[in-house]
Chain A
């Protein structure tokens, strides 16, 4: 029973990270109909940014979240204006945008190799190994903090999307851009801001991930794939759907670790088994085809 509780707690905490990680990918796809393959690159960049600020300047990774997120937001806006803006969208333009953003990712990854070598890095904070007892289970303080940040991020996003003019306009653009233009919404600006927001979320997730796992320049690849799993399961841009999907993915990865002799290298594959099952059984995702509804 105690073991079960531990597993539940571990799943929930991991789900927070997964939801944050996936949300940006779903947001950009939902609004721009572009699969941001550079999502993985920004996750990696966020991890290195946090690590660099911590190891060089002693800045706590949690304090680095806001500046790193802000810079990533601007980088995303810039990337939209410079590159993505020129691409055809949707089914017709899928290939070009995939190639271009994949190219950007490769370039970023190689720059990281050049700057930081391929060695694994970790962010060692003083509280990295501290744990508290929660409902009888030992829980890492850092994992709790990651979860707290993830929860706050999703909460803020939810408020942004449902309560502000910008958020409503963003959802409207996802559903019918021409009607937006007619009402005076500058659609291209919403696209740029959305791309910035999605990019910022990826970097924040990367930074949070860096406090939990060792990473190297190829960090972000498995995370991109996990983000796909969550987006397909949870639908586009629904905060609740994303959270539930992230929880399912986390549980599917965490629970088998309790089976004695279960090979750890298989846990990563479980998510994709889940993805395939969902695509076969419920091609529209668990919650149907709602877009940012």
Chain B
């Protein structure tokens, strides 16, 4: 691929206090791809996404978005540049209404101008959020909260969407619905980096994948290659 990737993570080390979590982790996401980030609990997937968003600062290495290194910029700039994270555990504002949660998704200048339009699009994608608009976000069901979290991220008009375990703790039917939404976002032109525990589903939807273990990339390839990799089949798919 000759064009420069939309996102490049180049050799980052990161951690919390004395605990090192990522060591020399690198990955790339090209425009219009769905890339999935796989790994067992504690491997450092969430930390990777948090580094990309700037809320965890890498000690070394660089996060590059559209060819621009981001290390000198505050994390609050990311949204305006077109990056959005749907965090693990949703992290909504529980005592704001669903509507207010979505509105604040469009907080940065570029998105604010088109907030009304985008709100309508989010409601088309998740009609349930319209029904629940005046309800406190904290009182939503798990699935509805996930919809609200995705909706909030979409309100910021991202060109790169980071999803951290969107299917976690949801009923199978809702999981299926989530993957359907992710697929349709991708078809609409969105570039996606997806962290998932549900390997099977993730590898079905993704174009490429990375497997990380103790903060390092252990394996990478197309979804097809990863699906057929004997190590993955044994370690993660239980086949």
Q: Are B84 and A182 interface neighbours, CB within 8 A?
A: yes
Q: A183-B107, A184-B80, A185-B107 are in contact. Are A172 and B55 (CB under 8 A)?
A: no
Interface size for B (C-beta < 8 A) is 30
- Quick one: which of B76, B80, B111, B112 contacts A181, CB cutoff 8 A? B76
Chain B contacts with A in 63-99, Cβ cutoff 8 A: 74-80, 84-85, 87, 91-96
Q: Are A179 and B108 interface neighbours, CB within 8 A?
A: no
Chain B contacts with A in 105-138, Cβ cutoff 8 A: 105, 107-108, 111-112, 136
CA distance A181 to B77 in the complex (A): 8
Contacts of A181 in B (CB 8 A): 54-55, 75-76
Among B75, B91, B96, B100, which residue has the most Cβ atoms of chain A within 10 A? B96
Q: Are B93 and A179 interface neighbours, CB within 8 A?
A: yes
Q: Are B112 and A165 interface neighbours, CB within 8 A?
A: yes
Contacts of A292 in B (CB 8 A): 95
Q: Are A182 and B107 interface neighbours, CB within 8 A?
A: no
Nearest-CB distance from A145 to chain B (Å)? 35
Q: Are A176 and B76 interface neighbours, CB within 8 A?
A: no
CA distance A171 to B95 in the complex (A): 9
Q: Are A175 and B95 interface neighbours, CB within 8 A?
A: yes
Q: Is A178 an interface residue (CB 8 A)?
A: yes
CA distance A179 to B55 in the complex (A): 10
Q: A182-B53, A183-B105 are in contact. Are A172 and B93 (CB under 8 A)?
A: yes
Q: Nearest CB to that of B83 among chain A residues?
A: A182
Contacts of A81 in B (CB 8 A): none
Q: Nearest CB to that of A165 among chain B residues?
A: B107
Q: Is B48 an interface residue (CB 8 A)?
A: no
Q: Is A290 an interface residue (CB 8 A)?
A: yes
Q: Are B108 and A183 interface neighbours, CB within 8 A?
A: yes
Q: Are A179 and B107 interface neighbours, CB within 8 A?
A: no
CA distance A171 to B107 in the complex (A): 13
Chain B contacts with A in 28-60, Cβ cutoff 8 A: 53-55
CA distance A291 to B100 in the complex (A): 15
- Quick one: which of A169, A182, A186 contacts B85, CB cutoff 8 A? A182
Nearest-CB distance from A232 to chain B (Å)? 19
Q: Are A176 and B79 interface neighbours, CB within 8 A?
A: no
Q: Are A184 and B93 interface neighbours, CB within 8 A?
A: no
Q: Is B156 an interface residue (CB 8 A)?
A: yes
Contacts of B78 in A (CB 8 A): 182, 184
CA distance A245 to B215 in the complex (A): 52
Q: Is B208 an interface residue (CB 8 A)?
A: no
Nearest-CB distance from B70 to chain A (Å)? 14
Q: Is A71 an interface residue (CB 8 A)?
A: no
CA distance A21 to B165 in the complex (A): 45
Q: Are B55 and A178 interface neighbours, CB within 8 A?
A: yes
Q: Nearest CB to that of A178 among chain B residues?
A: B55
Contacts of B80 in A (CB 8 A): 184
Q: Are A291 and B79 interface neighbours, CB within 8 A?
A: no
Q: Are B87 and A179 interface neighbours, CB within 8 A?
A: yes
Q: Are A184 and B74 interface neighbours, CB within 8 A?
A: no
Q: Are B55 and A184 interface neighbours, CB within 8 A?
A: no
Q: Are B95 and A187 interface neighbours, CB within 8 A?
A: no
- Quick one: which of A168, A179, A184 contacts B103, CB cutoff 8 A? A168
CA distance A187 to B108 in the complex (A): 13
Task: Show the binding face of B for A, using Cβ within 8 Å.
Answer: 53-55, 74-80, 84-85, 87, 91-96, 100, 103-105, 107-108, 111-112, 136, 152, 156
Task: Show the binding face of A for B, using Cβ within 8 Å.
Answer: 165, 168-169, 171-172, 175-176, 178-187, 290-293
Selected A-B contacts with CB under 8 Å, 20 pairs: A165-B107, A168-B100, A168-B103, A171-B95, A172-B96, A172-B100, A175-B93, A176-B91, A176-B92, A178-B87, A182-B55, A183-B104, A183-B105, A183-B107, A184-B156, A185-B76, A186-B74, A186-B76, A290-B95, A293-B96
